[in-house]
Chain A
Amino acid sequence: MTQRHAITLNALSLYAVALVLAAAFAAQFSLHELPCPLCLLQRILFATLAIGPILNIRFGPRSSHYAISLLSAVAGAVASTRQVLLHILPGDAGYGSALLGYHYYSWALIGFVAAIVLLAAILLFDRQFADDGAALPTDGGAFAQVAVWLVIALTVANVTTTLLECGFGACADNPVVYELLKHAS
């Protein structure tokens, strides 16, 4: 795998992160289900998964950049595993709606484990870390730049919605209204 291929794969991984963040928004707005504190933490850790690929696109592929994403994925897997275990006992209806039979935290665990496996797989390709002399596009090219700004925009959007949901105090364990909007409605 050349540096150019690796950068394309990193851009694709940013689109995957953007898809996860957008899907979380879609569920939040279409089903009117507000994310719990542990759900928000999992979203944050999905967003931090994007930092490694951004560094790879800007500075070229390095194992340390993949390590950043691996650390985020392991932390996310721990958080989502805890939420799965909180609702694993028979008779527990779980938190929120299910999508294709699994709750969002179960999908999050699958996503974080898939990220760990894919990151380990891409680390197998040593040639991406050697300078092959190919002229690489500045900042990864348009495909990568759109991916970077998309994921940044979705993270900034989460700043706004989380502020609306939690307000300036502690977030509710089981939020049902947007704290900053409940006086306006």
Chain B
Amino acid sequence: MEFTLLFLATAVVMLAAWRGPRPLALGLFAAVLIACVATYLHHATDALKLSF
């Protein structure tokens, strides 16, 4: 469900960038990027069997 919402939010940011005020688009983009990072951290829990 979170991915559906992220796609929807991205589409909304695109529409805001194309038709809305610039500060709104920038603010919404920041929110979407933070949500993407949070989603990544939520899913990236498997340990990588690697050594560097």
Q: Taking beta carbons and an 8 Å cutoff, which residues of A are in contact with B?
A: 37-38, 40-41, 43-45, 47-48, 50-51, 54-55, 58-59, 64, 68, 71-72, 75, 78-79, 82, 85-86, 88-89, 139, 148, 151-152, 155-156, 158-159, 162-163, 166-171
Contact flag A48-B33 (CB < 8 Å), given A79-B40, A85-B48, A159-B11: yes
Contact A50 B14 (CB under 8 A): yes
* Majority SS at the chain B contact face: helix
Q: Taking beta carbons and an 8 Å cutoff, which residues of B are in contact with A?
A: 1-4, 6-8, 10-11, 13-15, 17-18, 22, 25-26, 29, 32-33, 36-37, 39-40, 43-44, 46, 48-50
Q: Which of B10, B11, B15 has the most CB of A within 10 A?
A: B10
Contact A162 B3 (CB under 8 A): yes
Residues of the B chain whose Cβ atoms lie less than 8 Å from the Cβ of A155: 7, 10-11, 14
Residues of the B chain whose Cβ atoms lie less than 8 Å from the Cβ of A166: 1, 3-4
Of the residues A50, A82, A88, A151, contact of B44 by C-beta under 8 Å: A82
Contact A148 B18 (CB under 8 A): yes
* Listed A/B pairs (8) with beta-carbon separation below 8 Å: A40-B3, A44-B6, A85-B48, A86-B48, A151-B14, A152-B18, A156-B11, A162-B4
Contact B33 A152 (CB under 8 A): no
Of the residues B1, B3, B32, contact of A48 by C-beta under 8 Å: B32
Q: Considering the chains assembled together, what is the distance between the CA atoms of A148 and B16 in angstroms?
A: 12
Q: Considering the chains assembled together, what is the distance between the CA atoms of A86 and B18 in angstroms?
A: 37
Contact A171 B3 (CB under 8 A): yes
Residues of the A chain whose Cβ atoms lie less than 8 Å from the Cβ of B11: 47, 152, 155-156, 159
Known: A40-B3, A163-B4; 10 extra A-B contacts, CB below 8 A, are A37-B3, A41-B39, A48-B36, A64-B26, A89-B50, A139-B18, A159-B4, A159-B7, A159-B11, A171-B3
A166: min CB distance to chain B, Å:
6
Q: Considering the chains assembled together, what is the distance between the CA atoms of A72 and B4 in angstroms?
A: 18
Residues of the A chain whose Cβ atoms lie less than 8 Å from the Cβ of B50: 85, 88-89
Contact A75 B36 (CB under 8 A): yes
Contact A170 B1 (CB under 8 A): yes
Residue of B nearest to A50 (CB): B14
Contact A41 B17 (CB under 8 A): no
